[in-house]
């Protein structure tokens, strides 16, 4: 099951970053990438995502809460390929970035969209591990 999800996610690699977009090959932000995977796996999206500012930080965990309404939250210590990880980019701030874990050459990788970049896959390094705040599984 996780292998199918990772295969789908890798088809998004190269999709340009477009804030609030969610179309493979056309444009996507980090949440849009996960929304697209959700649609592929589950059908219609479970709820409408309201417009949000790219610099949003409302002091709440709205991204985490949204994921928790539709996916199974898991402990960070149990993450594996196929899991979604949310990141706190600034200590003490809300989690505002997300991506999907994969594996390549025996190493965990992260597939995600980043501002001013395309959807890409990179090693899940100590940098990312330290910023990980929450994890979810389909």
**What pLDDT does 47 receive?**
83
* pTM score over 0.85: yes
The tens digit of pLDDT for each residue in 91-118 reads 988 999 999 999 999 999 999 999 889 9
Q: Residue 80 is part of a domain; what is its CATH number?
A: 3.90.1720.10
Asked if 86 contacts 73 with a C-beta cutoff of 8 angstroms, the reply is: no
What's the domain range around 125? 2-137
Provide the pLDDT confidence category of residue 79 given band limits of 50, 70 and 90. Answer: very high
Asked if 13 contacts 119 with a C-beta cutoff of 8 angstroms, the reply is: yes
The tens digit of pLDDT for each residue in 24-42 reads 999 999 999 999 999 999 8
- Overall number of domains in the chain: 1
């Amino acid at each position: 099951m996780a292998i199918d999800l990772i295969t789908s996610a890798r088809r998004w690699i190269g999709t340009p970053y477009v804030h609030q977009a969610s179309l493979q090959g056309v444009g996507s932000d980090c949440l849009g990438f996960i929304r697209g995977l959700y649609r592929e796996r589950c059908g219609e999206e479970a709820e409408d995502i309201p417009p949000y500012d790219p610099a949003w930080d409302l002091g709440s965990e709205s991204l985490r809460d949204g994921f928790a309404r539709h996916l199974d939250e898991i402990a960070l210590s149990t993450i594996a390929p196929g899991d979604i990880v949310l990141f706190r980019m600034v200590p003490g701030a809300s989690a505002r970035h997300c991506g999907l874990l994969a594996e390549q050459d025996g190493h965990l990788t992260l597939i995600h969209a980043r501002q001013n970049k395309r959807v890409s896959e990179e090693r899940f390094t100590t940098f990312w591990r330290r910023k990980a705040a929450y994890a979810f599984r389909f």
